[in-house]
Amino acid sequence: MADGRDEEQVSGTLTIDRLGRLGDGMGQVGGETVHVPFTLPGEVVEAGGKGSRRRLEGVLEPSSDRIDPVCHHFGTCGGCQIQHMAHPSYLAWKRGLIVEALAREGLDIEPEPVVSFVAEGNFGLRRRAVFTCLRAGGKVLFGFSQRQANRIVNVEECPVLVPAIVEKIAELRQIASLFLPRKGSLKVAVLACENGLDIAIEGPAANDKSVQQAISTAIEMDAARLSHNGETLIETRRPVLMAGLAQVTPPPGGFVQAVRQAEQKMAELATAHLAGCTKAADLFAGHGGFALRLAQTMPVHAVESDSAALAALDRAWRETGGRLMPVTHERRDLYRAPITMKELEQFDGVVFDPPRAGAEAQSHELAKSGVRRIVAISCNPGTLARDLLILVDGGYRITSVTPIDQFVFSHHLEAVALLERDASYR
């Protein structure tokens, strides 16, 4: 007969001494490090469970940084990890994420303070969200994944989203339900454009009646576009995002920087650093958020693997009517076929903004090149630090690293690193 003590769930008191990279408090139990969510450094808490991950059962001695969460879904919804911490200390913790990542690679650079766009308690800045919709019994659930569980939190509010999305949650749930199969789920990507919501459904096909009902609801809520699996069902007007002088219509469900102000700040840092360059390359260019802004002062070559994103970039550039410098583009998988040292000879400025995996192969080519100035942008401090080390070993000098809190209340952190070729190298 098995010893039941192996399955025993125990409770105990411990002191939290620091926050981990994912926002959980960390403390010591029997000489081993354990993680307790929703706790803060200096707190004495009661935690239950076993192993390295424990559940919070009570805060016995709260930190002076502890505040009330701004959302009643906090603690169950997995979208936010750290609404319970005073904002100045929260920003210090976030800055520590990039400090730690750089230090692990031995990079001696002190990051700038975190750029935050939160003002007077206004957190509703995120213009893009991906909801999950599924059936649970006779109820349609529409929301985000529950923390550490394969379940959906049925959201009624979300303080980090722009009001234009929050105000239409009921209508979005209704549209999603019309495509929802009896079993399984679907995704709904919603983007608040300059001129209305762009709604992209990904999931099984619906019958004609349901599609017509969805179109009617989209019209009634004054959505700009409704698409299903990349096919436009109704477009009352072209959804547009501004990229400098250009108006971009992103492909349905395509990648977009989550916060408009964050994209603008990143673009400002990039354009200022590359000022004076004669020609730039925008690698992992997407639909041209950086390329189209850089083209106000220099020719740009945009490289991206997504053909729909490149088509959106090209259309936006052409519609500026000659107000921008030439923007050429190339479809290319930069993970398998990075721009080579030889190909980089035509550029004296480069900006790259890869997915979370980073740009290791491309960084090796850049490190061998003579490109004068580089802007490295990333949403992953770890892979950014790795890529920066490659460039530094190749003779580049980091002039600044600016962390940007694009994903408020989460452990995700955007950062912009500026580099220049060390003239004394070689």
Which residues does the annotation mark as catalytic? 379
∠ CA 206-212-217, nearest 5°, is: 110
Cβ-based neighbours of 262, under 8 Å, separated by 6 or more: 115, 117, 404, 405, 406, 414
Q: How far apart are CA 116 and CA 114, in angstroms?
A: 6
Positive or negative: CA dihedral 37, 38, 39, 45 = negative
Q: How far apart are CA 394 and CA 318, in angstroms?
A: 37
CA atoms within 13 A on the CB side of 42: 7
3-state helix, strand, coil in the chain (%, to 5): 25, 30, 45
Beta-strand relationship, 225-228 and 196-202: parallel
Cβ-based neighbours of 276, under 8 Å, separated by 6 or more: none
Cβ-based neighbours of 76, under 8 Å, separated by 6 or more: 146, 147, 153
Burial of 262 (0-12, 13-18, 19+ CB in 10 A): buried
21, amino acid identity? R
End-to-end CA distance of the chain: 71
CB 311 within 8 A of CB 319: no
Burial of 146 (0-12, 13-18, 19+ CB in 10 A): middle
